[in-house]
Structure 1
Amino acid sequence: MRLLIYFISFLLFHPLSAHSALQDIPDAVKSKIAPPSIDASSWLVADFETGWVLAGKNTDQRIEPASLTKLMTSYLVFEALRNNEITMQDRVYISEKAWRTGGSKMFIEVGARVSVLDLIQGLIVQSGNDAGVALAEHIDGSEQGFASRMNLMAAELGMTNTNFTNSSGIPEDNHYSTVEDMTLLSMALIRKFPELYRYYSQSEFTYNDITQQNRNILLTRDPTVDGIKTGYTKNAGYGFIGTALRDGMRLVAAVTGSSGKVARADQVQSLLQYGYGAYEGLIAYQAGTEIKSLPLWFGETSQASIGVLKKLSVIFPKGKSDKLSATLELPASLEAPIAAGAPVGYIQVKYDQQPIYRTSLQVNESYAEGPWHKRILDYIKQLIF
């Protein structure tokens, strides 16, 4: 009964969702250092682990996502690979529609058969609109069908202000997003597909004897930057979502409506520098490590190991780690049988005694019932004590 109550509490306060929306950094832990002045229509910088937005402007303003659209296209291609819907070796037929698609290209030829691997690099490194159409048609038969898949995934990821009508980002009336939604998508892509995300750090790709450079010029400026995507249309201006990983702390910065290619890179770099200059990160606990053990009744062992389901990481103003503390909310004991991953309580992280982050605690491994004589003995102990 006690475990049922804790499970219900878990569902009420922590809905079972693979993704959560971005949120402003708690006031208690917000740095007093002002963010840089950014000359763009909308922008933000956020912490990857917590989803905290450190600073931003017009983050929910509707934008033309332009080639940032390809983040969703690649997300769904990666998912199709993981689900064995397609393989890297598939030879994709290039339709006339894909070949004729305007804008940036990888220069595939109508009627050719091109591997999924080449198309992924053409999509990501060369920002090929033609590659986006070809991949969409290969997965769902048509770009329209693939757009439906894109919108279903956008809803699943919590992208509440986004609608896709194509796989490349070519402007259309009902094709829109926000800098917040595109940042949320970027974080989901990095988190879910770490082994495939590496294509976003690829500096160049050659196809059909044509070599094109990755438009993310921060890849050559800063070795800690490993992604992620640029975009441009005449109406939208220049957009860029960049991310860096320094000492285990990943930040994501995004700008849209910038004035030029260099300007957008400078602005993203400035936002990343601000984040790393004003804050530092701390990995409090890794997933599966023991934070505390609890007495276990009716089990083969007498103690149960308790930890966090996923890595617990927080950020705070630089040099102020002494202001961090944590409290545990746990029952006095547990009862076997209990499965690994079962939620049993919470950990509350505080900064300067102010709550800033709360997440569930779980059982690190499964515990079966003990032999009958131990269960009887434990029952007697409960009656006595």
Structure 2
Amino acid sequence: MDTQARQAIIIDADTGATLLEKNGDERMPPSSMSKLMTMYVVFDLLRQGRLTMDQTMPVSERAWRMGGSKMFVQIGNSVKVEDLIRGVIIQSGNDACVVLAEGISGSEQQFAELLNEYGRRIGLRNSNFRNATGWPDPEHRMTCRDLTVLARHIINDYPDYYRFYSERSFRFNDINQENRNPLLGRVPGADGLKTGHTEEAGYGLTGSAKRGDRRLILVVNGLRSMAERREETERLMEWGFREFENVSLFRASDTVEEAPVYLGDKPTVPLVGGRDLILTLPRQWRRNLQVKVRYDGPIPAPVAKGQEVGRLEVSGQGVPAMTLPLIAGADVARLGLVSRIPAVIGRWVSRT
């Protein structure tokens, strides 16, 4: 699968599998997609009780003068946090971002330091924030992969606030603006997240859609027009749902194999994964899946439940290679001295 985007990535939000990648770790100007980081901080402060939805924040002259996409706040007024959130998410308001940044940290520069602190905390390895808006700056950079990490955190950490991303329009100061996300209303299950555009970055989108138990997250950047962004993201999202499926190999408590135990009060111990193993696989390559169980056996007693005793190796054409530790599903005590003698003799005899 190819794409016209300069950078692109599609992942399964639950398994973390990468379905498509093009320059996924290339540092790029994220434009307004970096507003996702601003919202992540706001959501966390709301959860901590350090902000409330009804709390108001003053509009400075700097916020009022911000160019680009605007919520159209008025200088000298105070705006509710809930309205500012909608102004950022739905209207992509640069002015709303600055009001929030100054209200939280005192200045946008100090708020950018807070963004970087949060970014390190959630594992954004190749991102650097210089402002709250994504305004062009040669040092303000993210990667497609980091944007998927951030999107997953927003979706999973703040489901109560994620609902804002699916709202189609917002009216503020007698001005109604539509959500610019081209997936909403066009792709079944689409419910987020954020568009972006600058001359350097091109047209980009961090988008997500959920169908049944599957959720995909898509990030593209560097497209040439709004029309190309709309067509390309719709095509890629449909391809991801159509060509891949999530396959449950086994559940956390399922016995993968019974391994023999040496000098144990039980002859075998069940090997379990300890967690559900669900893989995202291309539908046409599912039959090529190979699963191998490896352990050094017989496993010497005593064996403690939860002890790592082997590994499960998954591979195959079109399947990302992965290894999962296998753990003992039960305790196996060591035989007493008298009971061990026949076992030891029998093992020695069998080898001669």
**TM-score under structure 1 normalisation?**
0.73
In structure 2, the residue matched to 1:136 is: 101
Instruction: Pick one of 230, 237, 240 that aligns with 2:202.
Output: 237
The gaps in structure 1 that reach 5 residues or longer are: 1-34, 295-302, 368-377
Structure 2 alignment gaps of length 5 or more: 259-268, 341-352
Shift of 1:223: 2.1
| Count of matched residue pairs | 326
- Confirm or deny that 1:48 pairs with 2:48: no
1:69-108 matches, within 5 Å, as 69-108=34-73
Task: Give, in whole Å, the separation in 2 of the partners of 1:110 and 1:154.
Answer: 31
Deviation of residue 104 (structure 1)?
0.7
- The CA deviation string for residues 253-291 of structure 1, in whole angstroms up to 9 with x for no partner, is 2221111112112111222222223221124456xx533
Cα pair 1:42 1:61 within 8 Å, conserved: yes
For residue 343 of structure 2, what is the aligned residue in structure 1?
Answer: none
Report the Cα distance in structure 1 between the residues aligned to 2:253 and 2:137, rounded to whole angstroms. 52
Distance 1:79 1:306, change over 3 A: farther
Q: Match for residue 321 of structure 2?
A: 356
1:303-382, aligned counterparts within 5 Å? 308=274, 312-324=277-289, 326=291, 335=304, 347-351=312-316, 356-360=321-325
Q: Secondary structure at the match of 2:111?
A: helix
Shift in Å at residue 181 of structure 1?
Answer: 2.2
2:254 — aligned with what? 291
Deviations 1:303-359 (A, max 9, x none): 9996645x53211121554554656678777558x8xxx98875544547x883334
Residues 1:182 and 2:120 aligned together: no
Structure 1's 315 and 381: CA in aligned 2 closer, same or farther, altered over 3 A? same
Inter-CA distance 383–54: structure 2 relative to 1 (3 Å threshold): farther
Q: CA-to-partner distance for each residue in 1:148-194, whole Å, 9 max, x for gaps?
A: 11112222333332211100111123212222322332223223222
For residues 212-227 of structure 1, the aligned pairs below 5 Å read 212-227=177-192
- Structure with max Cα Rg: 2
Q: 1:214 to 1:333 in 2, by over 3 A?
A: farther
Counterpart selection for 2:211 from 221, 242, 246? 246
SS of aligned partner of 1:220:
coil
**Hey, what's the Cα distance between the residues in 1 that align with 2:51 and 2:18?**
36
Q: What SS does the corresponding residue of 1:98 show, helix, strand or coil?
A: helix
What is the CA–CA distance in structure 1 between the aligned matches of 2:242 and 2:60, rounded to whole Å?
49
Identical residues among aligned pairs (%): 37
1:63 touches 1:177 (CA, 8 Å); kept in 2? yes
- What amino acid is aligned across from residue 5 of structure 2 in structure 1? A
Separation in 2, partners of 1:323, 1:78: 43
Calculate the aligned-residue CA RMSD, in Å.
3.4
Preserved contact between residue 290 and residue 305 of structure 1 (Cα < 8 Å): no
* Alpha-carbon distance, 1:105 to partner: 1.1
Kept in 2: contact 1:348–1:355 (CA 8 A)? no
Give the secondary-structure state (helix, strand or coil) at the position aligned to 1:164.
coil
Q: Secondary structure at the match of 1:253?
A: strand
Deviations 1:27-77 (Å, cap 9, x if unpaired)?
A: xxxxxxxx03x2222222222233333223222333211100101111111
TM-score by length of 2: 0.79
The residue aligned with 2:170 is 205
Q: 1:313 to 1:379 in 2, by over 3 A?
A: closer
C-alpha displacement of 1:114: 1.8
d(CA) in 1 for partners of 2:170 and 2:309?
49
Which residue pairs with 2:28 in the alignment? 63
Counterpart-to-counterpart distance in 2, 1:165 and 1:383: 72
